[in-house]
C-alpha cells in the first residue's frame, strides 16, 4: 500500500489516496449478532442512488461493495470518497479509495477496501461515490456484515487501536463512525443498584497497577474529580472492577469516567467501542437509582443517578434532581 497526504486549508480537507488492493473474497452468509448488523436496510427510492454493502474484519478494516444500476459507465478512475464531518475548528479530512470490478459478483458491482493500517481520525465519515465527470454522490447502505466486530479483542502488540463501524444516518445515507485510541479502557458489565455503580472492564495497551484509580470528572470542569480505588484481576492485570458511589456525585449533574492505570500514568477514557453498535446512547439504557445525600442546610433533596453512553460511546453518569 502506498499513499499521499496533502494538507489543505480549513474549508477543504487533507486527502489520503490509496492504491487499489487485490479483491477480497465475498463474505459468507450467516446470522448477525445484533438486529441491525447484517440485515438489509429497507429499499430506498431509485433517486437515492447506488448502495454499498460493508464487511468488517477483526483487525479494523472495511470492504465496500458498491452496486451500480445497469448502464452506468464508471471508467478507470471510479472510487469512494470518505470525508470526515468538520469538528469545532471547521477542519476535516478525506480518504480516497479506488474501486475495482468484482469478478465473482453480479455485473455492476465494484469493490473498495479500507485497510486497518490506514488511520481515520475520530469522528463520523460520510461516504461518497466518485465517478469521472460527475459530482460526488452519497451512497445508501446495503448489508452490513459486522460479525467480526462482536467481542473484538485487539492485539496487545499494536501502538494504536482503530475502530470503524458503518451505519445508516437518519437520512438513509451510509456513514462510518471511527475511533482511534491507545491505551483503551473498554467498559464491560454495568451493575446499577441503590447507592452506586459497579463497573467491570478491560484495559488494552497497559496494565492496571495497585495505585489505579477511577476518576469521575465533572463534565465542564467546574469541580474536583471523585477518585475511587480500582481492583485488578489476579488472573489478568488488564481486567478491573470498581464501584462508584453515587452520593459523591451529588454536587454536579454530568460526570465523565476515566481510568488512571497507575500513579503518574495518563488517564484513559472509559468507553465501549469493541462491538458492532455505532450509537449506544439510544440502545443501551440503564435505570435511574435514588441517591441519598444531605445538602449543607441538612435538607435531603430528591436525586437520581444513572449511567449512560455519550454520543461518542464514552461512559458517563447523570445526576438529576426530581423534587420541585
What is the tens place of the pLDDT at every residue in 132-149?
Answer: 888 999 999 999 999 999
Q: Which residue has 492504491 as its cell numbers?
A: 19
Q: With 90 as the cut, is the pLDDT of residue 222 above it?
A: no
Instruction: Give how far the C-alpha of residue 166 lies from the chain's centroid of Cα atoms, to the nearest Å.
Output: 9
Q: Render pLDDT for 79-132 as a digit per residue (tens, 0 to 9).
A: 999 999 998 888 899 999 999 988 776 667 899 999 999 999 999 999 999 998
Q: Render pLDDT for 234-249 as a digit per residue (tens, 0 to 9).
A: 899 999 999 999 999 9
Instruction: Point out which residues pair with 252 in neighbouring strands.
Output: none
pLDDT given for residue 157 in this prediction: 75
pLDDT confidence band for 74 (50 / 70 / 90): low
Greatest distance between any 2 Cα atoms in the chain: 76
Percent of the chain predicted with pLDDT > 70: 80
Q: Render pLDDT for 189-215 as a digit per residue (tens, 0 to 9).
A: 999 987 899 999 999 999 999 999 999
pLDDT given for residue 156 in this prediction: 79
pLDDT confidence band for 45 (50 / 70 / 90): very low
Higher pLDDT, 44 or 147: 147
pLDDT confidence band for 23 (50 / 70 / 90): very low
Helix (H, G, I), strand (E, B) or coil at 194: coil
The answer to whether the bond into 183 is cis (omega within 30° of 0) is yes
pLDDT confidence band for 40 (50 / 70 / 90): very low
Strand bridging mode 93-98 / 14-18: parallel
Query: What is the C-alpha separation between 53 and 144, in angstroms, rounded?
Result: 6
Query: What is the C-alpha separation between 126 and 124, in angstroms, rounded?
Result: 7
Contact 137, 129 (CB under 8 A): yes
Q: With 50 as the cut, is the pLDDT of residue 11 above it?
A: no
Give the mean model confidence (pLDDT) for residues 67-76. 70
Q: What residues contact 114, with CB distance under 8 A and at least 6 apart?
A: 18, 61, 62, 63, 64, 82, 95, 97, 120, 164
Q: With 90 as the cut, is the pLDDT of residue 12 above it?
A: no
Instruction: Report CA torsion sign: 176, 177, 179, 184.
Output: negative
Mean pLDDT, the chain, whole residue set? 84
Q: What is the DSSP string of 50-95?
A: -EEEEEE-TTS-EEEEEEPPTT----TT-EEEEEEPP-TT---EEE
List the grid coordinates of 260.
488512571
pLDDT given for residue 221 in this prediction: 74
pLDDT given for residue 75 in this prediction: 65
Query: What is the C-alpha separation between 115 and 111, in angstroms, rounded?
Result: 13
Percent of the chain predicted with pLDDT > 90: 65
Q: With 60 as the cut, is the pLDDT of residue 46 above it?
A: no
Across 149-158, 172-181, 209-218, 313-322, least confident range: 149-158
pLDDT given for residue 21 in this prediction: 40
pLDDT given for residue 30 in this prediction: 29
DSSP code of 156?
Answer: T
Give the mean model confidence (pLDDT) for residues 37-41. 40
Contact 259, 270 (CB under 8 A): yes
Contact 103, 23 (CB under 8 A): yes
Give the mean model confidence (pLDDT) for residues 296-315. 88
Amino acid at each position: 500500500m502506498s499513499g499521499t497526504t496533502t494538507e489543505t486549508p480549513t474549508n477543504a480537507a487533507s486527502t489520503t489516496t490509496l492504491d487499489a488492493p487485490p479483491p477480497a473474497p465475498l463474505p459468507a452468509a450467516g446470522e448477525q449478532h445484533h438486529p441491525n448488523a447484517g440485515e438489509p436496510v429497507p429499499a430506498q427510492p431509485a433517486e437515492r442512488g447506488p448502495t454499498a454493502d460493508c464487511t468488517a474484519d477483526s483487525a479494523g478494516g472495511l470492504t465496500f461493495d458498491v452496486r451500480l444500476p445497469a448502464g452506468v459507465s464508471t471508467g478507470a478512475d471510479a472510487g469512494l470518497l470518505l470525508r470526515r464531518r468538520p469538528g469545532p475548528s471547521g477542519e476535516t479530512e478525506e480518504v480516497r479509495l479506488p474501486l475495482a470490478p468484482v469478478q465473482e459478483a453480479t455485473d455492476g458491482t465494484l469493490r473498495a477496501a479500507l485497510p486497518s493500517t490506514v488511520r481515520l481520525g475520530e469522528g463520523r465519515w460520510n461516504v461518497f461515490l466518485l465517478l469521472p465527470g460527475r459530482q460526488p454522490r452519497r451512497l445508501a447502505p446495503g448489508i452490513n456484515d459486522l460479525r467480526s466486530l462482536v467481542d473484538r479483542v485487539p492485539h496487545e502488540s499494536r501502538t494504536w487501536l482503530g475502530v470503524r463501524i458503518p451505519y445508516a444516518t437518519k437520512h438513509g445515507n451510509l456513514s462510518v463512525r471511527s475511533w482511534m485510541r491507545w491505551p483503551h479502557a473498554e467498559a464491560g458489565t454495568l451493575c446499577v443498584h441503590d447507592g452506586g455503580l459497579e463497573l467491570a472492564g478491560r484495559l488494552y495497551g497497559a496494565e492496571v497497577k495497585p495505585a489505579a484509580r477511577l476518576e469521575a470528572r465533572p463534565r465542564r470542569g467546574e469541580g474536583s474529580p471523585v477518585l475511587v480505588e480500582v481492583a485488578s484481576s489476579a488472573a489478568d492485570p488488564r481486567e478491573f472492577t470498581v464501584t462508584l458511589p453515587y452520593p459523591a456525585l451529588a454536587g454536579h449533574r454530568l460526570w465523565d469516567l476515566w481510568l488512571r492505570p497507575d500513579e503518574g500514568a495518563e488517564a484513559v477514557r472509559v468507553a465501549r467501542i469493541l462491538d458492532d453498535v455505532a450509537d449506544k446512547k439510544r440502545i443501551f439504557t440503564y435505570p435511574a437509582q435514588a441517591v441519598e445525600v444531605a445538602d449543607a442546610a441538612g435538607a435531603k433533596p430528591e436525586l437520581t443517578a444513572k449511567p449512560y453512553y455519550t454520543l461518542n460511546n464514552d461512559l458517563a453518569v447523570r445526576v438529576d434532581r426530581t423534587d420541585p
